[in-house]
Structures are given as structure tokens and as C-alpha cells.
């Protein structure tokens, strides 16, 4: 064996320093890098020169920055010769590196004065991540066992109880400490315990015994009815024992009884609705029928229009009644599709109008997005499509305490004579528990089971939506929101497209100047009516025409802004609550558009007459305020106000 004295110590140190797999760094007393070996560069990803531009503390994880403070003091004071600990650092790519750090202090040989630290780094990232993953797995298992709603009892191959979770104590009345070391017969009886131990090595026999164990003995002497599952405890491929997983069926049986009672109640509801359907439709048909008779009499043009409005309003009311009261017809599968031309934008707008007031009460934001690829004119069942949208939007509002709701429509596929559209209603509400998602569209389940414990039901439910969507050759499903709370309900519908309407998506939805109607009076004003309700549109339009002015109709604030860009209107009657864009937002955009130049005279129109509203709307940039119901005298006063203002200026 060669004598070590023959080796050059400096050469030996240099070789070890350069080639050692352990990172070695010389660090000054003021915590700056003095020198690092190649292993340190490899661990942290920096070159030797780059290390000189920062300190070890600059790349240390913030949670570990105080780890060495007391230890360094003890090292400098000579209390300890060295110390070892784990630290996290960020490498050059920004990733966390776990290291085992060993720190010692080099002192002057003569006076013992501290000179610098020698810090050794060992990259333990892989081991640490494996350790954390194992710890996470253990914690998940522990949490699963601890918080499981079923009782979980572990026992050895000798039938002696090893442990149990909290539900065991709740189900049996025994403390876990009282059960550990006892035989399984204490809980499942002597016969079942004997049969179980005899069947431990026979899979078929275990399944048979599993079915026979249906009672767990309580400490107080009574039995708890359970559903049992047996699972082996396998350690390194060897079975060391078993788990008994016992589900308390007491509550489950109560729920089954309640479900049967609920089904009977719902059947009674269906029969009642069928009867009410007849009782309500009869007078409604009388109203609509008499309007048809009235239209056959001698009426002037204006009277005909008014009667048609009454007929249309009655038909709308009857349609709503049909949607609600035809529950039994939908449930029995007798519902049929009514093919008619429809505009998807209009259907969505009309549905939003019906639910907007409830959304405003909760201060919810509702946004819509319709793909430009969606054909403007399609053929389908307006009533059923609206009913599905109405129910899903109502649910979204109902189960969203605060936040926003979005509605989107886009085509999934298109053929020569049909298009499949996908509708998505997304909310930021309370969401749906994962275990309930599979039952959402089951009859009776959603309305009468867990959802009504939180808020009132609609009376129709998602089961009806599913049947209506299937009638439209579509599907409906639920998706949990990934980045936030809430739910997304999606459904598809197959709608017809006529070849002669292939370019219908390109038609201009905005009213043109040619649509402006009125008499030939020289002093007539050019007036824009921004109102989403068709009946209110006609009322305001007719009053203005009687006063001798020209009118243009738009359905929301967005259309109003676009209309003002194209034509110089004198007055705008601006409804406050409209879909897509409300009246206040539209007014702000119009005011910003003109910026001091002459702009239209804007009149706020609202269904509410609350004290202070007038001042509020005037402060928002409007010029006048009227509340519904609107009379001809009110409109005339507004026109006079505009004329007087124009005269003054």
C-alpha cells in the first residue's frame, strides 16, 4: 500500500474540490460567495462568475431565510463546531431545489479568528419530492379514513381489532381504545366472526360472508343495520389483515321511504296540474277566441293593431301557462316539436328579459356571447328552447348569491339542412357536490332531494329540461367550474336551416332609416325608442305618431348607440333596464361620443317610480325622466320640454 505522504496534498484537495459530487462553497463572514466548485454550479444552474453577483440569501426560499440565524451565532461563538440542516433554494430556472446543507467555520491557526465558512450542498430534491408525495399519500389515506361517513374497522388475521375511525365510535358507542385488542365478535357476533375468519383465504366465501354481516352491535345493546364491504390490508404483497367498511343504512332507508312519498306527491302534483291546465286554458282560449271574432268585425287600422296586441299578449300568456302546466304531458313522453322560424338572438333576449329583474335584485352581472357563425334564422320549437333556457337561467340566478352569469351560443356542427348549436350557462354560484352530479337529471331527485334544502324549487326541474333537449335531438350535461366556484350547464339542440336562408346570418339587425315612419308634418321630430318590450314599443310609438313625430325602434342599449352613430336623432326615449346593454350605460357612451357637441335629448323611461330616481338619472347624463305606465300627456310634456330647451339655446 502506497504511503499517503507521497501524494501532493494541494493536488489531492484540488481534485476532490473539482470532482466531488457534493457542492462545496467558500462563503465570507458577510455572507457572500468567495468560491464555488463545479458541483455547486450544477446544482443551482449558475456559472461561477454569476455567483459573484448575489448572495446565498438572495436565492434562498423566503420561508427558510431565518433557519441559520441562531446556528451561525453559535458557530462564530465556538459553541458548536458545525451544523447541518435542510434548506430550499431557487435555481436559475426558478425551480425549488431542496438541499442538505452542512456548514463549518475555518479559523486562523494562530489566533483562532474566524476567516470564512465552508458550506457543503447535497441536492436532495428527488428524495424530498418522493418523501412529500409519500406524506401526501399518507395524509390522504388518514383523512379518507378519519372523515369517511362509513365506519372503517381494521383487524388482523386472528380477528383482533387493530384500529377504527371516528364513525366507528359514532356507530357502536365504543371508544376506539375500548375496541383495540378485542375480538370482532364484539361487533358482528360470534357466528359471523367465526365464518369470517374461516373465509379469509377464499374470495368467494368472503363475498358470501360479506352479505351475511348486516348488523353491527351497539354498546347499549341494540343493533345498527349496515351494508358491509370487506377489503384486504396488503403490505409488501402479503395480506396482513382486513378492513370492515360498514355503511349505516338507517338513514338510507328513511330516504328511500321519503323518495317513495315524494314520488307519490309528485304524481298528485301532475294530476293537479293537468286539471288546472284545463281550468286555466278554458278562459284564456275564450279571451284569444274573442279577439279573433273581434278582428272579423268592422275595425279601422288602428283598432285592428290594438286588438292584435291584445291577441299577442294573450297568446304569450297562454304559452307561459302551457310551459308550466304541461308537466304531465312532458313526463308521459307525449310532447311534440313545433317547427317554426326562430331567431336565436331574439329567443335569448326574450328569456333574459324574463329573468333580468331577479338578477338585478341580487346585483348579478349577466353577459352573453353568440358566435358570428350561428345562423340568424333557423327552424325549431321556440317554446321548448325558451323553456330550457328559462329554467337553466333561473337556476343559475337562484343558486348564485353573488358574482356573474354568462350565456354563450356556438355551432358544434352544420349540415346542408340543419345546424347543431351548443348553449352554455355558466355561473359563479354554490356549485353542485360531485356525488350529486350523476343524479342531477333524474326525475324527482334534483327538485325534491338536496337542492330544495337550500332554496325553493322551480316546479319543473332539470329532468324536464333533459326530456325537452332530447326532443330537440340534443344532449344536456353539467360541468364543474375549474378555476372558480359555480357550475356550467351545457346543452345542444339540432335546428333546421333552409337553403334559401343560407345568407340570413348577414342581414342587418339594426333598423334602417327607411324604417322611420310618421306623417309629413314639417316640424316632426326624429325620435329613437330604445325599449326591449314589444308592447311598450308599440304604445310609445303610437303616442309619438299621434303627436306627429317620426320614430325608430331598437331593442337594447347597444342598438341605441349604433343607431345614434348612423342618424342624427332629436330625442331618445331610453328604457333603463334592457338586455345586452342597459340604458344608463348606453347614455354614458352616447355622451362620451359627442363630448360637448349637440347630442340627442335623452329621456329616461323606467317601470319604477321611486323617490330620488329623477335626480339619479339626471345626474347620470339624461335630460328628462318618465315612469310607466306612459300617457300621451306625459310624452307631450317631454316634447314641450325639449322644444323649450331648443328655443332657449
Cα–Cα dist 587/153, whole Å: 69
Strand order in 151-156's β-sheet?
161-164, 151-156, 238-248, 223-235, 215-217
In the prediction, which pLDDT does 20 show? 86
Residue 130 — φ and ψ, nearest 5°?
-65, -40
In the prediction, which pLDDT does 506 show? 37
In the prediction, which pLDDT does 147 show? 62
Cα–Cα dist 95/90, whole Å: 5
> What cell was used for 120?
457543503
Provide the greatest CA pair distance for the chain: 131
Angle at which helices 534-546 and 632-648 cross, to 10°: 60
Alpha helices in 342-409 (DSSP H): 344-361, 382-398
Q: Which residues contact 220 (CB under 8 A, 6 or more apart)?
A: 173
Angle at 462 between CA 457 and CA 464, to 5 degrees: 105
In the prediction, which pLDDT does 130 show? 82
In the prediction, which pLDDT does 511 show? 39
Alpha helices in 457-570 (DSSP H): 461-471, 534-546, 557-566
Cα–Cα dist 635/560, whole Å: 19
> What cell was used for 485?
366556484
DSSP bridge pairs for 88? 98
In the prediction, which pLDDT does 518 show? 38
In the prediction, which pLDDT does 510 show? 37
pLDDT, mean of each 10-residue run, the chain (649 residues): 63 84 92 93 93 92 87 90 93 93 92 92 90 70 66 88 86 89 90 87 82 89 87 81 85 80 73 63 64 80 84 69 57 69 88 82 88 90 89 88 92 90 92 79 51 43 83 90 82 82 39 37 79 80 85 91 90 88 91 85 75 74 80 83 67
In the prediction, which pLDDT does 361 show? 84
Whether omega before 353 lies within 30 degrees of 0, making that bond cis, reads: no
In the prediction, which pLDDT does 355 show? 81
Using an 8 Å Cβ cutoff, are 188 and 210 in contact?
no
Single out the residue of 153, 244, 151, 241 nearest to residue 200, CA to CA.
241
Cα–Cα dist 426/36, whole Å: 55
Amino acid at each position: 500500500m502506497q504511503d499517503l505522504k507521497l501524494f501532493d496534498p494541494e493536488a489531492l484537495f484540488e481534485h476532490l474540490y473539482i470532482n466531488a459530487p457534493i457542492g462545496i462553497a467558500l462563503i465570507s463572514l458577510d455572507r457572500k460567495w468567495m468560491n464555488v466548485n463545479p458541483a455547486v454550479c450544477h446544482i443551482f444552474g449558475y456559472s461561477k462568475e454569476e455567483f459573484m453577483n448575489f448572495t446565498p440569501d438572495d436565492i434562498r426560499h423566503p420561508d427558510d431565510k431565518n433557519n441559520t440565524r441562531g446556528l451561525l451565532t453559535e458557530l462564530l461563538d465556538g459553541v458548536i463546531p458545525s451544523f447541518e440542516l435542510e434548506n430550499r433554494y431557487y435555481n436559475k430556472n426558478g425551480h425549488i431545489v431542496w438541499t442538505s446543507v452542512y456548514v463549518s467555520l475555518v479559523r486562523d491557526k494562530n489566533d483562532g479568528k474566524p476567516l470564512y465558512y465552508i458550506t457543503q450542498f447535497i441536492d436532495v430534491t428527488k428524495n424530498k419530492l418522493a418523501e412529500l408525495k409519500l406524506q401526501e399519500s399518507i395524509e390522504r389515506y388518514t383523512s379518507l379514513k378519519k372523515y369517511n361517513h362509513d365506519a372503517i374497522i381494521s383487524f388482523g388475521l386472528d380477528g383482533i381489532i387493530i384500529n377504527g375511525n371516528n364513525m366507528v365510535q359514532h356507530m357502536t358507542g365504543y371508544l376506539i381504545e375500548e375496541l383495540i385488542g378485542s375480538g370482532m365478535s364484539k361487533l358482528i357476533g360470534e357466528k359471523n366472526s367465526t365464518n369470517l375468519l374461516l373465509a379469509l383465504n377464499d374470495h368467494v366465501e368472503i363475498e358470501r360472508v360479506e352479505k351475511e354481516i348486516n348488523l353491527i352491535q351497539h354498546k347499549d345493546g341494540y343493533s345498527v343495520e349496515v351494508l358491509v364491504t370487506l377489503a384486504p390490508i396488503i403490505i409488501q404483497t402479503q395480506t396482513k389483515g382486513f378492513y370492515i367498511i360498514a355503511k349505516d343504512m338507517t338513514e338510507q332507508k328513511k330516504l328511500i321511504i321519503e323518495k317513495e312519498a315524494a314520488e307519490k306527491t309528485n304524481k298528485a302534483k301532475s294530476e293537479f296540474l293537468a286539471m288546472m291546465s284545463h281550468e286555466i286554458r278554458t278562459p284564456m282560449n275564450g279571451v284569444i277566441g274573442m279577439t279573433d271574432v273581434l278582428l272579423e268585425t268592422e275595425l279601422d287600422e288602428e283598432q285592428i293593431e290594438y286588438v292584435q296586441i291584445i291577441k299577442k299578449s294573450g297568446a304569450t300568456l297562454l304559452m307561459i301557462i302551457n310551459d308550466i302546466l304541461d308537466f304531465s304531458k312532458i313526463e308521459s313522453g307525449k310532447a311534440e316539436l313545433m317547427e317554426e322560424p326562430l331567431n336565436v338572438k331574439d329567443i335569448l333576449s326574450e328569456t333574459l328579459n324574463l329573468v333580468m329583474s331577479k338578477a338585478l335584485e341580487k346585483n348579478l352581472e349577466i353577459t352573453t356571447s353568440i358566435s358570428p357563425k350561428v345562423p340568424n334564422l333557423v327552424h325549431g320549437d321556440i317554446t321548448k328552447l325558451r323553456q330550457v333556457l328559462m329554467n337553466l337561467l333561473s337556476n343559475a340566478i337562484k343558486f348564485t348569491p353573488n358574482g356573474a352569469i354568462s350565456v354563450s351560443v356556438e355551432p358544434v356542427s352544420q349540415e346542408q339542412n340543419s345546424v347543431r348549436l351548443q348553449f352554455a350557462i355558466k355561473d359563479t354560484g354554490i356549485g353542485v357536490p360531485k356525488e350529486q352530479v350523476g343524479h342531477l337529471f333524474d326525475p324527482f331527485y334534483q327538485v325534491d332531494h338536496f337542492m330544495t334544502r337550500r332554496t325553493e324549487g322551480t316546479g319543473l326541474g332539470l329532468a324536464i329540461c333533459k326530456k325537452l333537449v332530447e326532443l330537440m335531438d340534443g344532449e344536456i350535461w353539467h360541468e364543474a367550474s375549474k378555476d372558480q366556484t359555480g357550475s356550467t350547464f351545457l346543452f345542444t339542440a339540432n335546428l333546421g336551416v333552409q337553403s334559401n336562408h343560407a345568407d340570413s346570418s348577414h342581414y342587418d339587425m339594426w333598423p334602417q332609416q327607411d324604417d322611420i315612419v310618421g306623417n309629413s308634418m314639417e316640424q316632426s321630430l326624429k325620435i329613437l325608442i330604445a325599449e326591449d318590450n314589444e308592447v311598450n314599443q308599440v304604445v310609445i310609438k303610437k303616442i309619438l305618431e299621434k303627436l306627429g313625430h317620426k320614430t325608430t325602434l331598437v331593442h337594447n342599449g347597444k342598438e341605441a348607440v349604433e343607431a345614434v352613430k348612423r342618424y342624427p336623432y332629436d330625442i331618445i326615449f331610453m328604457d333603463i333596464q334592457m338586455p345586452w346593454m342597459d340604458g344608463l350605460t348606453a347614455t354614458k357612451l352616447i355622451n362620451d361620443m359627442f363630448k360637448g357637441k349637440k347630442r340627442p335629448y335623452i329621456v329616461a323611461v323606467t317601470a319604477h317610480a321611486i323617490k330620488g330616481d329623477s335626480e339619479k338619472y339626471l345626474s347620470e347624463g339624461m335630460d328628462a325622466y318618465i315612469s310607466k305606465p306612459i300617457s300621451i300627456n306625459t310624452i307631450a310634456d317631454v316634447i314641450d320640454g325639449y322644444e323649450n330647451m331648443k328655443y332657449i339655446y
